[in-house]
Amino acid sequence: ENEYNQTKVLKDLHIVVTAGPTEEKIDPVRYFTNRSSGKMGYAVAEEARKLGAKVTLISGPTNIQNPSGVEVIHVKSAQEMYEAANSVFNECSIYISAAAVADYRPKTTSEQKIKKQNGEWAIEMERTTDILATLGNKKDKQTVVGFAAESENVEQYALKKIEKKNLDMIVANNITSEGAGFGVDTNIVSIYKKDGSKEDLPMMSKNEVAKTILHHAHSLHVRNEQ
Ligand code: CTP
Ligand code: CA
C-alpha cells in the first residue's frame, strides 16, 4: 500500500472523472438539480493526479476549487456533461462517473422568467441521456467505474447497474447511513466488480476512498489490457 502511494503508478494513464450535480434549466431563475457537493469526484481527480495520471475532470456546478494539475471542464446540464464526456471517452483509459446527473430535465426551457400564478404548477419532464450507460455500452479498452448512491437494497441495485451500464466496477453507498451522507468529508462504500467480487470498506475520508477506488480500477485496467 505504501509503495503504491509513493510511486506514480498511474502515469501514462488518462483518467476522466465526472463530478458534482447537473443543473437543468427551467427559466433564467429556476432549475432542477440533484443533491451533490462534488467532494467525492474531486477527491478522485486530485488523488489520480497525485498518482501521476493525466486527469480530465468534468464538473457540474460546485463550490470546490479546481484541483491543481487537472484539466477541468465546467458544465451545467446533463447534455453538456454528456457531450464533454463523449468527446474524451475514446482516448481515456479509465472513466470514473461520480457525478449526480439529473435523470430528468424540463421538456421546454423558457428564456423569460415564468411569472407565478394562482394555483398549482406542473412541469413536464423528459429523460436525460444516461451518460454512463451510453459510454459503458460502447467501451472498447476503457475501464469504466460507476457510483450508486442508494437509500435501500444497495447490493441488488448496484449489481443491476453493473449489468445495465456494462461497468467493470461500481462504488455503492447507502446515503442514509451516518458518515456517508451529502457534503461530509467521509464516506462508507462497498466496491462491487463485474466478476462478482465484493469489498465493504470502513468509514474513510473521501480522499482515502478515492485512493482505494483508483487502486482497484487500476488493477482491473491492467487485467483488461492483457
Ligand atoms: N449516471 C450518468 N448519467 C445519468 C444518470 C446516471 O452517467 N443520466 C451515472 C452516475 O454518474 C453514476 C451511475 O450512473 O455513476 C448511477 O447513477 P444512479 O443515479 O445511482 O443510477 P441511475 O441509473 O440513474 O438509476 P436511479 O437513479 O433510478 O437509481
Ligand atoms: Ca439517477
Q: How far apart are CA 200 and CA 197, in angstroms?
A: 10
Taking a C-beta distance cutoff of 8 angstroms, is the pair 33, 22 a contact?
yes
- Copy the grid coordinates of residue 149: 448512491
**Binding site feature residues for CTP:** 103, 113, 147, 161, 165
Helices (H), 100-140: 131-136
Residue 180, pLDDT score: 77
**Strand 30-33 to strand 23-27: parallel, antiparallel, or no bridges (unpaired)?**
antiparallel
Give 224's DSSP letter.
H
- The single-letter code of the amino acid at 214 is L
Residue 2, pLDDT score: 55
- The ligand whose atoms approach the alpha carbon of 146 most closely is 1
Ligand 2: distance of its center to the CA of 2 in Å? Answer: 36
Interface ipTM: 0.99
Per-residue model confidence as pLDDT tens for the chain (226 residues):
455 556 899 999 999 999 999 999 999 999 999 999 999 999 999 999 999 999 999 999 999 999 999 999 999 999 999 999 999 999 999 999 999 999 999 999 999 999 999 999 999 999 999 999 999 999 999 999 999 999 999 999 999 999 999 999 999 998 888 777 777 889 899 999 999 999 999 999 999 999 999 999 999 999 988 8
Residue 103, pLDDT score: 98
Ligand 2: distance of its center to the CA of 102 in Å? Answer: 6
Q: Which atom of ligand 1 is least distant from the CA of 149?
A: 20
Taking a C-beta distance cutoff of 8 angstroms, is the pair 68, 29 a contact?
no
Taking a C-beta distance cutoff of 8 angstroms, is the pair 93, 11 a contact?
no
- For residue 166 and ligand 1, the question of a CB distance below 6 A is answered with no
Measured CA distances, 64 to 6, 47, 61 (Å) = 26, 15, 9
Domains of the chain: 2-102+123-225 (3.40.50.10300)
